[in-house]
Structure 1
Amino acid sequence: MAIVSTSTSAFYERARAGMKDLRSQAETLQAQLGSGQKLTRSSDDPVAAARLRTLSRLESLSTIDKTNANRANADLTLADSAMSNMSNSIIRAQELATQAASTTLTHSQRAGIAEELAQIHDDLYALANSRDSSGHALFGGNNTGNAYTLDAGGNAQYIGSNTSAELPIGDGQSVTRSMTGRQLFNFTDANGNDTDVMATIKTLAAALTSGTADPAAAANDALGSLKTGLDTLSTAQTVVGTRLAWLDVVSERRTSLSELRSTEEADLGGTDIASTVAQLQQTLTVLEASQASFTKLSGLSLFDNLR
């Protein structure tokens, strides 16, 4: 009796263990189909799990880099737009200086030109104090307030820092988010003096208003400085345009790398729907057959064959 009991117990235990394994496999496959992930624990495939963690960390860093790049793009776009308006103002100032250089103009006509030049000075001052995407000084370097202020004589004075902030955009690279006011306006005139466009325009407006002895000569002198100032601003705008183009290149590369990471993540940890469904169907069929076989075998008795 002990042998029979032991054999029967072993039969039931083997059947129970086999069906338990099949049910566990079916549940795992169903969980993979539901989550879309074939790894439920790191122990399922330690190497693949480690690589997936690395890919996830890289994607998180890429998201931070993308945020910085978007901010830099926004600030540089704002800078480019403001600089285009500045260029238009300086070109208009050149036109007015050319008119003022004529010896046939009357004092009242030059006074009218001076009034428009004063307005251009104010427009340039306002543009120089433009704000970036965070509401800080766009051309003030690392300053949060204005880039320029007016002294007691109404002259624009730069109060920003000497450099603009750099933003990391990934792979150890960074981009400067804007230009400083000095980089836009300051230059050395024909006499070797450091000056800026706003000072040139204000000085010319004052000369035309005060009725200086030779207003035409003052206008001619200003034309050379305005040309140099416009060239300086154009060079700065070219630099900004180059940075924007570089951000586009980096963005395309970041997108490509992100797509490659997504593909690798899908290959390593993603569920192959067709294959998993086929395995699930096979496992459920085997489980059903095992249950049916167990039911039939457990109902057999040696005494049935001794009748």
Structure 2
Amino acid sequence: MRISTNSMYAASSTQLGTLQTQLARTQMQLSTNKKLLAPSDDPIASARALEVTQSQSINSQFATNRANARSSLSQEEVVLSGVQSLIQDVQGIAVAAGGGTNAAADRTTYANELQGRLDDLIALANSSDGNGGYVFSGFRSSTPPFVKNGAAVDYNGDQGEVQLQVAGARKLAINDAGSSVFTGIATANGTFATAANPSNTGTGVVSSGSVVNPSALTGRNYSLDFAVTNTGATTYTITDQSAAPPVAMVSGASYLAGQAITVAGQQFDIKGTPGDGDQFTVKPSDRQSLFTTVSKLIDTLRAPATTDKEKATLDKGLQDAIGNLALGLDNVLAVRSSVGSRMKELDSLDSIGSDIDLQYAATLSGLQDLDIVSAISMFSQQTQTLQAAQKTFTSISGLSLFNYIS
């Protein structure tokens, strides 16, 4: 078989080019530590690597979302801590103001101090979230949630809770609406409220009471009407005011100061000396804001307390304020506990997310990373092969028929 010089050169050049390409590819793999330089190298592994890379990116975004959620919840936790401390201060002032030795000037001093605490409470409720918005405005984050309107404090936010995707199947609320923290708090003992008729003439003071039989609760309104007989004996009648017409449940019961009185599973007592015609009411608890509770306490302390009736009103006002503050504090603690639970959940999700990220990295490594030892061995082999091909090509290209003609 005759091989032309042109064919020999063409075949040698092609082979050298192929060897150089293989060597260059191996060198690129070593420099990048990747065995897949193009999808065509291994289409199946490339497709799988793309899926894993996308999943890893989503997992990284969840981690970013959790960091943002933790920042928002931490800001709320700081504010709630301040609110808790403030309420406890107000409770201390209310107890101190109830001391029997306080004069009118002392109560005025306490009232002035409470006015400052009320302003501080409004400021805390309008705390910034650090991003130009407000912590407790709900979805209306750019609107100050609480605004003074005369003696009242109005809520201008909404009930929205911002939800953030913190895991594949988990959304987490990163805020609490101000209405759930500062407003709509049950009064009295949380179930029912006792009160004295403003027109009472005696010195009777009714306690806040408690529930002794939950199954007997009716949610109806009751009244206790007192009468003083010619002999000086004091009796009372209990009437169901929710009935139409009202129905007397107890008539002419003898009154004994401090003795427990039970109505539909609700127990309380009355101390002091009720006057003839005095009335006390028992009805389901209302709801009011923390701001209203503090404002009413201030008004109670500013009111005169010289007569027996005024002193009884002061005692009842302080009793109600202390009870309402306790319920307000319980509500703040419940919200704060919820914030803590969410932050703990974020810690758990961070740990899981880190494990998932490690798993994705290991999978990608198995799909893409180069076996360095094998690649170096291959590189050495390809280098030697190329050098041998180059030498043989040099030798062959130097052969000529003229070298044998003398």
Aligned length: 303
Looking at structure 2, the residues matched to 90 and 264 of structure 1 have their Cα atoms a distance apart, in angstroms, of 54
Larger strand proportion, structure 1 or 2?
2
Unmatched 5+ stretches in structure 1: none
Looking at structure 2, the residues matched to 217 and 5 of structure 1 have their Cα atoms a distance apart, in angstroms, of 121
Looking at structure 2, the residues matched to 276 and 211 of structure 1 have their Cα atoms a distance apart, in angstroms, of 95
Correspondence 1:264 to 2:340: no
Looking at structure 1, the residues matched to 126 and 376 of structure 2 have their Cα atoms a distance apart, in angstroms, of 63
Give 1:205's aligned residue: 298
Looking at structure 1, the residues matched to 148 and 72 of structure 2 have their Cα atoms a distance apart, in angstroms, of 25
Out of 51, 56, 60, which is 1:54 matched to? 51
Looking at structure 2, the residues matched to 133 and 283 of structure 1 have their Cα atoms a distance apart, in angstroms, of 61
Looking at structure 2, the residues matched to 211 and 123 of structure 1 have their Cα atoms a distance apart, in angstroms, of 26
Give 1:157's aligned residue: 154
Looking at structure 1, the residues matched to 3 and 33 of structure 2 have their Cα atoms a distance apart, in angstroms, of 46
Q: Per-residue displacement from partner, 1:242-300 (whole Å, max 9, x unpaired)? A: 00001111112112212221222222112333332222122111111111122223334
Residues 175-214 of structure 1 mapped to structure 2, 5 A cutoff? 175-186=172-183, 187-190=185-188, 191=193, 192-211=285-304, 213-214=310-311
Correspondence 1:78 to 2:75: yes
Looking at structure 1, the residues matched to 73 and 373 of structure 2 have their Cα atoms a distance apart, in angstroms, of 48
Looking at structure 1, the residues matched to 3 and 43 of structure 2 have their Cα atoms a distance apart, in angstroms, of 43
Residues 82-121 of structure 1 mapped to structure 2, 5 A cutoff? 82-121=79-118
The TM-score, its normalising length taken from structure 2, stands at 0.70
Unmatched 5+ stretches in structure 2: 194-284
Whether the 8 Å CA contact 2:187–2:327 is kept in 1: the answer is yes
Whether the 8 Å CA contact 2:143–2:156 is kept in 1: the answer is no
| 1:139 alignment partner, SS class | coil
Percent sequence identity over aligned pairs: 26
Out of 326, 330, 342, which is 1:243 matched to? 342
Looking at structure 1, the residues matched to 157 and 371 of structure 2 have their Cα atoms a distance apart, in angstroms, of 58
Q: Per-residue displacement from partner, 1:148-199 (whole Å, max 9, x unpaired)? A: 111122x221111112110111203111011111211231112211112221
The TM-score, its normalising length taken from structure 1, stands at 0.92
Looking at structure 2, the residues matched to 54 and 137 of structure 1 have their Cα atoms a distance apart, in angstroms, of 40
Give 1:41's aligned residue: 38
Amino acid corresponding to residue 51 of structure 2 in structure 1 = T
Q: CA deviation at 1:303?
A: 7.3
Larger helix proportion, structure 1 or 2?
1
Q: CA deviation at 1:90?
A: 0.4
Whether the 8 Å CA contact 2:108–2:301 is kept in 1: the answer is yes
Amino acid corresponding to residue 304 of structure 2 in structure 1 = G
Q: CA deviation at 1:102?
A: 1.7
Give 1:66's aligned residue: 63
Give 2:196's aligned residue: none
Worse-matched range after superposition: 260-269 or 225-234: 260-269
Give 1:13's aligned residue: 10
Evaluate the alpha carbon distance shift between residue 198 and residue 297 of structure 1 in structure 2; reply closer, same or farther with a 3 A threshold.
same
Whether the 8 Å CA contact 2:91–2:322 is kept in 1: the answer is yes
Looking at structure 2, the residues matched to 95 and 76 of structure 1 have their Cα atoms a distance apart, in angstroms, of 29
Correspondence 1:146 to 2:144: yes
Out of 226, 231, 238, which is 2:325 matched to? 226
